[in-house]
A = this chain, B = another copy of it.
């Protein structure tokens, strides 16, 4: 059986909020190392990968590998019933028909409990290759969100161009063109405002702003975001969560005429 308690129902709430527009139904794969999720969006352009490590839960118990096939719309409805500060316990049998979610206020004055029916979902196994990226940018997540929103007013696509000096986001559209340049800068006192670039070679790639704006729904999960790029390889947009957990989005670059 599975039994896992999160001290912040909020984390799962925000994760699901951030991915539910990309993926309708997916498996939450539970094993002794934690709860993981991988899924492609409907158009097979983007990929979501989440890990909530067993370390993020206390207690965490999972005797056997279980795949919980869940409709994210249903899960969203249920998670709306959770208070931000509620503790969340996820429970399932070894061969479950339902997943059981229990929300309790810290003092246990209010306990709410929901069962969500599970579904069988074809497990298209998604091998995500480990990549050595040519460049990784770490920047404030709100800054990335701001840039994606601003540029999406002008165009469908953005080019991300990374050099040692900094990173430039640029686009062209019908009403004109726009660009934002961020200088690499370390703010020791405010690490969340640091823009850091780790790079082996300069890289410039173009991506759909619609997807990037969508990924930015995860902004509230982390103060910083990492963008990892290599030529002809999907962009990795990563939000690190506490306790070795993460939410990652992959997005294939636009090539040639598509730009």
User: Residues of A at under 8 Å CB distance from B?
Assistant: 71, 74, 77-78, 80-81, 98, 108-117, 143, 150-151, 153-154, 174-183, 185, 195
Closest 3 CB pairs of A and B: A81-B150, A74-B175, A112-B180
Partner of A179, one of B113, B177, B185: B113
Cα distance, A151 to B112, chains bound together (Å)? 10
A185 touching B116 by the CB < 8 A rule? no
Question: Can you list 17 A-B contacts with CB-CB less than 8 angstroms, sorted by A residue number?
Answer: A71-B175, A78-B154, A78-B176, A78-B178, A80-B150, A80-B153, A98-B176, A108-B183, A109-B182, A109-B195, A110-B181, A112-B181, A113-B180, A114-B154, A114-B178, A115-B177, A117-B174
Q: Is the interface of A mostly helix, strand, loop or mixed?
A: strand
Cα distance, A150 to B80, chains bound together (Å)? 7
Residues of B within 8 A of A143 (CB): 110
Cα distance, A116 to B154, chains bound together (Å)? 10
A118 to B, closest residue via Cβ: B176
B185 touching A109 by the CB < 8 A rule? yes
A111 touching B175 by the CB < 8 A rule? no
A82 to B, closest residue via Cβ: B150
A77 touching B117 by the CB < 8 A rule? no
